Amino acid sequence: MKLPNTAHSSHPWRIHALTPDFRLEDVWALPTPGGPDDLTRLVRQMTSGNGRFSGATRTLFALRWKLGTLLGWDRPGSGIGARVQSLRDRLPADLRDAPPGPGFRAVPLTPVYLTDNEWAAEVANRTVHAVMHIGWVPDESGGYRGQMAVLVKPNGLFGKAYMAVIRPLRHLIVDPALMRKIGRAWRSRDEDRRAG
């Protein structure tokens, strides 16, 4: 479920100090009910690469990667450490010295930091420098759940235009499909735990 931006901006996340030059694109409640210490489980699930998208979402991703290849959006030299510095360069010592969390198997996101209640990963190409922030927050039923925020720093006018074009596709197709995928994987693991 999409949340108001204040669900992210009003929380004292550490990511705020690292991204004052980024814009908060959107915030989503993740269908991941759990206990106070389940963030690590969610991070492992998200980085594992398990599960595939189907239908329109898979088609949109295939189109994006094909356009990126044809137009050179994702070439070496356009990403983290080349076109933009990693957010890891902005970390205070306590976060810089701690493990950043697991890396992704299937998507080009790089982990930045992991704490007991938040995790961030970044990606950059010729269009944008973006951050996926996962927070672990109390829910309405007395438990906890994940919350995903997307922060972006478009690369010039082209990056702003790119973000404007993909925004409706993300909100109507990609992000709801991602929420369903995350929820299915979370429920499946709960069912496996109960069965085992």
Between 174 and 136, the higher pLDDT residue: 136
Is the pTM value of this prediction over 0.75?
yes
Query: Is 75's pLDDT higher than 90?
Result: no
pLDDT of residue 54: 64
Query: Is 196's pLDDT higher than 90?
Result: no
pLDDT of residue 194: 62
Q: Which long-range contacts (CB under 8 A, 24 or more apart) does 164-172 make?
A: 167/25, 169/60, 170/26, 171/2, 171/26
pLDDT in tens, 113-132: 999 999 999 999 999 999 99
H, E, C per residue of 3-51: ECCHHHHCCCCCHHHHCCCCEEEEEEECCCCECCCCHHHHHHHHHCCCC
Comparing 33-42, 64-73, 84-93, 187-196, which segment has the lowest mean pLDDT? 187-196
Dist. CA 157–CA 151, nearest whole Å: 17
Residue type, 26: D
Between 61 and 161, the higher pLDDT residue: 161
Q: What is the overall mean pLDDT for the chain?
A: 89
Query: Is 63's pLDDT higher than 80?
Result: no
pLDDT of residue 136: 98
Q: How many residues does the chain have?
A: 196
pLDDT in tens, 148-191: 999 999 999 999 998 999 899 888 888 888 899 899 999 987 66
Mean pLDDT, residues 54-80 taken together: 75
